């Protein structure tokens, strides 16, 4: 299938803010978004088509597939079976293989190792005995993570050689005897960074500049674009992201999270969707990541990822939204709210982009 014409419909699994911002950015391209999700959310406030159903409701999935021209998703925990059922009827982009790789840390790390991309040292672990052996092999500090369903620092604990394997196991996963985990060596990084990269249906690749990310309580607080690094590090990051997206045979926007230790780059994890650290592109790049994602999955040519200046993106979590009147009064502050009614602590309510020339 080639490029979708104006009036075509992108199916979106998930009703969160990433889907909302993709729908808003797809509109000027003449593309509509049809959300499929178990409950309404930020995305359904800006879309007129919505299928409310569970991800394992195969009849609803079939009807949805027949009502859209392509399917994408705004979160990586889409059940593999859901992607397969849809892929049998309609193109799914990024494809089920890329999704399966990115939603399981051990598969993802194995893929990166085979590609020769540097990561923290790691050991796959499925039982307490395997954890005991891995802690021994670690020889120092590490982070034990669930292979699936972790986000914003959830599903992980700091560990060290010498810790009691049974106690560590119980602390992370409770009483279950088997669970896919990954033990990672602790990376003594100075900064966290990321590259958001897009690949079109025609194989064109467009990385945005490397950006620096600051976290608070494991949640992204601020992104600075571009990162303050040498030209060599910036181009190495772009080259890594390009190799990864090509090897995944990926169509759409991919977030590549990195640790920066001196001039060395280590990939932490991949996010198969637009990424919070790419929100700066809405006001600070020629083509924003959400439009880029819509272009890619619709088979349209990618837009330019060039920066328009220097941008600082700050997330608004929980009560931070109380600052909205002040932000609206601030010249040059671009506000993006997600339409969430309840400002629970730590909940991502919106973000603000501040662009300066340069």
Residues that bind ligand AMP (CB under 6 A): 120, 143, 150, 153, 184, 186-187, 192, 215, 218, 257, 268-269
The alpha carbon dihedral of 329, 330, 333, 335 has a sign of negative
Minimum distance, C-beta of residue 187 to ligand AMP, in the bound complex (Å)? 4
Residue closer to ligand AMP (CB basis): 41 or 142: 142
The C-alpha atoms of residue 242 and residue 49 are separated, in whole angstroms, by 34
Minimum distance, C-beta of residue 8 to ligand AMP, in the bound complex (Å)? 34
Residue closer to ligand AMP (CB basis): 215 or 344: 215
Residue closer to ligand AMP (CB basis): 143 or 246: 143
Residue closer to ligand AMP (CB basis): 208 or 266: 266
Minimum distance, C-beta of residue 24 to ligand AMP, in the bound complex (Å)? 27
Residue in the block written with tokens 């490397």 = 210
Residue closer to ligand AMP (CB basis): 155 or 339: 155
Minimum distance, C-beta of residue 78 to ligand AMP, in the bound complex (Å)? 18
Minimum distance, C-beta of residue 113 to ligand AMP, in the bound complex (Å)? 14
How does DSSP assign 239-267, residue by residue?
HHHHHHHHHTT--EEEEEEEEEETTEEEE
Residue in the block written with tokens 């600070």 = 284
Minimum distance, C-beta of residue 259 to ligand AMP, in the bound complex (Å)? 7
Residue closer to ligand AMP (CB basis): 97 or 215: 215
Minimum distance, C-beta of residue 184 to ligand AMP, in the bound complex (Å)? 4
The C-alpha atoms of residue 222 and residue 11 are separated, in whole angstroms, by 30
- Output Rg (C-alpha) for the chain, integer angstroms: 20
Residue closer to ligand AMP (CB basis): 142 or 299: 142
What is the number of other CB atoms lying within 10 angstroms of the CB of residue 56?
Answer: 12
Minimum distance, C-beta of residue 119 to ligand AMP, in the bound complex (Å)? 8
What is the number of other CB atoms lying within 10 angstroms of the CB of residue 258?
Answer: 28
Residue closer to ligand AMP (CB basis): 73 or 123: 123
Minimum distance, C-beta of residue 150 to ligand AMP, in the bound complex (Å)? 5
Question: HSE (CB half, 13 Å, CA atoms) of 258?
Answer: 30
The residue ranges of DSSP E strands in the chain, in sequence order, are 9-13, 32-37, 49-52, 70-73, 122-125, 141-146, 156-160, 181-185, 191-199, 205-207, 211-216, 219-225, 252-261, 264-271, 310-317, 333-337, 348-356
| Edge-to-edge strands, sheet with 9-13 | 49-52, 32-37, 9-13, 70-73
**Cβ burial, residue 49 (10 Å; 0-12/13-18/19+):** middle
Cis ω for the linkage preceding 94 (within 30 of 0): yes
The C-alpha atoms of residue 168 and residue 152 are separated, in whole angstroms, by 20
**Cβ burial, residue 352 (10 Å; 0-12/13-18/19+):** buried
Residue closer to ligand AMP (CB basis): 45 or 268: 268
């Amino acid at each position: 299938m080639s490029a979708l014409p104006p009036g075509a419909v992108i199916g979106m699994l998930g009703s969160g803010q990433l889907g909302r911002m993709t729908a808003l950015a797809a509109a000027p391209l003449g593309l509509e978004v049809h959300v499929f999700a178990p409950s309404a959310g930020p995305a359904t406030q800006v879309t007129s088509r919505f299928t409310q159903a569970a991800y394992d409701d195969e009849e609803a999935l079939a009807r949805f597939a027949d009502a859209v021209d392509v399917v994408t998703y705004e979160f990586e925990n889409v059940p593999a079976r859901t992607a397969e059922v849809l892929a049998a009827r309609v193109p799914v982009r990024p494809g089920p293989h890329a999704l399966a790789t990115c939603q399981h840390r051990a598969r993802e790390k194995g893929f990166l190792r085979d590609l020769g991309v540097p990561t923290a040292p790691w050991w796959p672990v499925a039982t307490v005995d395997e954890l005991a052996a891995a802690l021994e092999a670690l020889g120092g500090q590490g982070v034990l993570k669930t292979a699936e369903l972790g986000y914003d620092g959830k599903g992980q604990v700091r560990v060290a050689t010498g810790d009691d394997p049974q106690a560590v196991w119980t602390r992370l996963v409770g009483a279950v005897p088997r669970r896919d985990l990954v033990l990672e060596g602790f990376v003594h990084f100075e900064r966290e960074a990321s590259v958001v990269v897009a690949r079109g249906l025609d194989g064109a690749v467009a990385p945005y500049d490397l950006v620096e990310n600051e976290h608070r309580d494991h949640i992204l607080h601020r992104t600075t674009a571009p990162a303050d690094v040498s030209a060599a590090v910036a181009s190495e990051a772009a080259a890594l992201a390009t190799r990864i997206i090509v090897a995944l045979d990926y169509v759409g926007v991919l977030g590549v999270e990195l640790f920066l230790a001196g001039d060395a780059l280590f990939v932490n994890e991949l996010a198969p969707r637009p990424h919070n650290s790419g929100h700066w592109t809405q006001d600070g790049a020629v083509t924003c990541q959400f439009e880029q994602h819509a272009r890619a999955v619709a088979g349209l040519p990618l837009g330019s990822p060039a920066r328009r200046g220097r941008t600082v993106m700050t997330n608004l979590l929980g009560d931070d939204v109380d600052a909205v009147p002040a932000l609206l009064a601030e010249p040059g502050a671009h506000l993006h709210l997600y339409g969430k009614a309840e400002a629970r602590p730590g909940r991502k309510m919106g973000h603000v982009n501040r662009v300066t020339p340069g």
